[in-house]
Amino acid sequence: MVHRVGYAPGVYDLFHIGHLNILRHARSQCDYLVAGVVSDEMAALAKGHKPVIPLPERLEIVRSVRYVDAAFVETVPDKVETWQQVRFDVIFKGDDWRDTEKGKRLERDFAVVGVEVVYFPYTVHTSSTQLRRALDTLVSPQSGALSAP
């Protein structure tokens, strides 16, 4: 029996329906799903700021999702280096990566080791970036909302 291992990397900050959709879709296409939770430091390098939710909490949230068989802390930017540690057969990314330079590089790098790259629809109406902007607006001194008297 062939056992197909999938890998779904992400920051998973401010966990929302888009995250759940990716994990659900990923699990439907593999026998065992590993969610890669990007470290605070790696997220800051990639996005320019640390996540709102600290790594131990994000890891526990993702680990508790029923579609996830295991969670792995991703600490290096090179996905092939991560593959050497996790050994997955397919990697899942949002389709915002499709036909981009980083997506094409990912496909080239993984073609060498026989890993399939599968893209899922990006949840346009909900993103952690949008949620973070909304929170920043709510807690900004200019808004007067949620600020201490």
Quick: pLDDT tens for 37-60. 999 999 999 888 899 999 999 999
In whole angstroms, what is the distance from residue 118 CA to residue 93 CA? 6
Asked whether the CA dihedral 87, 38, 45, 119 is positive or negative, the reply is positive
74 sits in the region (left: phi over 0; alpha: psi -120 to 50; else beta) called beta
Angle at CA 55, nearest 5°, toward 71 and 8?
A: 35
Say yes or no to pLDDT of 131 above 70: no
pTM above 0.75, yes or no: yes
The pLDDT value recorded for residue 110 is 97
Under 8 Å between Cβ of 19 and 12: yes
In whole angstroms, what is the distance from residue 83 CA to residue 69 CA? 16
The pLDDT value recorded for residue 12 is 95
